[in-house]
Amino acid sequence: MELDVSAPKVIPDGNESTKGDKPFASPQIPRTREAFPLRIVRKRLIRGLKLGLDTLLPKAILITLVLAICGVLVYRMSWPFLAAWITRNGIATPDIYERAIRYDAKNAEYHFVLGKIYNYSTQYLNLSRAGEEYEAAVGLNPDRAAYWLELSKYYEQTRNVERSRYAMQMALRTDPNYAQTHWAAANLYIRMDDLKAADLELRRTADLDTSYLTKVLDLAWRFYEDPHKIMSTYVPNTMEANRLALDYFVSRESEEGASLAWNRLKMFDTKPQEHFGYINYLVSLNKPHEAWQVFRNGQNPSASLLYNGSFETEPLNGGFDWRFSSTEAAEARRDTTTSKDGRASFLVAFKGNENVNYARVWHWLPVHKGRSYELTFWMKTEGITTNEGIFVEVDGKSSEKQVGSTHWQQFTIPFKATSDLVTVSLRRVPSKKFDNLLAGKVWLDAFSLAEVGQ
């Protein structure tokens, strides 16, 4: 039996023509009845529009339509421009802003300014209108904290306490990260005798901007005068905030508050000159050793009691470093060109124009009353005039006076401390001679202090 391997015949489905010998012809996709007519209509419509625009009447209609639309836009835009023009000079009179609102009724700023005019101007005072305009401003632009703040003030002055609080809360919600808003809220709550709410806003104010901290502390001190509460409630634990708190308590002469602030501040990397005020305050309380510890905070506690004795660093001119000042008669400064020990010394150059009573270079020494000490140092002079020479004095004891020119010489001054804080200074007393004007130079270096007889 043989297999028929010829191509199969296509059996017509009744819709195709069977004419011809094309059994493999691809079937044609039938067209829908809708697609063809719509395409024809669209082409004819576009062709008709193009032909129509070539005539005069359709062109005129189109131009008129465009001009009308432009006219409407210009009309609608011209009023805000006109309102901005009449308020350009910032003249605060009601008639100007009333006109501006007629031209641009949805401009919140015009309502806000008009409200302020009616609220604050003696000549145009109208509290009811002020309230209307403030409320219009926040209605048109509820995202401006300044609008809510003014509305809160308005409600407070009209004794509407609840509305005033609500407006303030809206201001805080609108601008939560602005210290001035929280400061205003704190003052409002204080006036409302709500100190708990005020405490939160005062702390938030200080957190956001430490420049407000002194004012915050003033308010807190007025109500509490409690250093522990003030430090824990209002002062952020940052270096700047603790430093400001320390200065504040020193100004208030609150030893307890200053101590609390210092105990927090000393944990930070600070410089001695940043707490000179506290050092001077402790000295005024007759606590020089506490002052010395504050000055030496973070440094070697076993270091010499005479800080910067060899002038290796520029004197801080405060605290327990050298203090000095220049005058028309003498210039005082650190000198890096001449030294006995290390890299520098201290120079005082007298100008020869005065009979000087000199004591403008000095240094505090924290000692113990009744104990014996020795102060050692080196001195050099050049051309010191008059019979009254230069000497160093400590706690009433002095070295030999130096006149003329001398090489580096070492001096030792033994003394018994008469208090817990003594002063070492460069001195010269006025001459009683006719030729008494002091000229010349003196250098000091390598100061040290040692307790003896232990």
Q: Between residues 155 and 14, which one has the greater pLDDT?
A: 155
Structure tokens, 161? 């306490």
Residue that is written with structure tokens 């400590």 in the block = 394
Task: Report whether pLDDT(194) > 50.
Answer: yes
| Average pLDDT score over residue span 67-87 | 63
Give the span between the Cα atoms of 354 and 352, in whole angstroms. 6
Q: How confident is the model at residue 66 (pLDDT cuts 50, 70, 90)?
A: low
Query: How many Cα atoms occupy the beta-carbon half-sphere of 80 within 13 Å?
Result: 8
Which pLDDT value is given to residue 87? 79
Which pLDDT value is given to residue 83? 72
Q: How confident is the model at residue 68 (pLDDT cuts 50, 70, 90)?
A: low
Q: How confident is the model at residue 19 (pLDDT cuts 50, 70, 90)?
A: very low
Which pLDDT value is given to residue 57? 65
Task: Report whether pLDDT(11) > 50.
Answer: no
pLDDT above 70 covers a percentage of the chain that reads 81
Task: Report whether pLDDT(26) > 80.
Answer: no
Helix crossing, 195-208 with 179-191: angle to 10°? 160
Task: Report whether pLDDT(141) > 90.
Answer: yes
Q: Between residues 11 and 393, which one has the greater pLDDT?
A: 393
Amino acid identity of residue 432, one-letter, is K
Q: How confident is the model at residue 7 (pLDDT cuts 50, 70, 90)?
A: very low
Closest CA to 116 of 140, 132, 139, 99: 132
Task: Report whether pLDDT(376) > 80.
Answer: yes
Task: Report whether pLDDT(16) > 90.
Answer: no
User: Which stretches of 310-453 are DSSP H helices?
Assistant: none
CB 400 within 8 A of CB 391: yes
C-beta pairs of 179-185 under 8 Å, 24+ apart in sequence: 179/204, 179/205, 179/208, 179/209, 179/212, 181/145, 181/149, 182/208, 183/212, 183/215, 183/216, 184/149, 184/152
Cβ-based burial of 33 (10 A; exposed 0-12, middle 13-18, buried ≥19): exposed
Which pLDDT value is given to residue 23? 43
Task: Report whether pLDDT(140) > 80.
Answer: yes
Task: Report whether pLDDT(436) > 80.
Answer: yes
Which pLDDT value is given to residue 428? 97
Amino acid identity of residue 356, one-letter, is V
Structure tokens, 322? 């050298």
> Does pTM top 0.85 for this prediction?
no
Task: Report whether pLDDT(301) > 70.
Answer: no
| Average pLDDT score over residue span 220-241 | 96
Which pLDDT value is given to residue 77? 52
Cβ contacts of residue 335 below 8 Å, gap of 6+? 344, 345, 346, 347, 443
Closest CA to 148 of 176, 171, 120, 116: 171
Helix crossing, 56-86 with 35-53: angle to 10°? 80
Residues 94-105: tens digit of each pLDDT: 888 888 888 888
Q: How confident is the model at residue 423 (pLDDT cuts 50, 70, 90)?
A: very high
**Average pLDDT, rounded, for the chain:** 87
Task: Report whether pLDDT(70) > 60.
Answer: no
**Distances in Å between the alpha carbon of 363 and those of 142, 275, 392, 421, 423?**
62, 17, 11, 10, 6
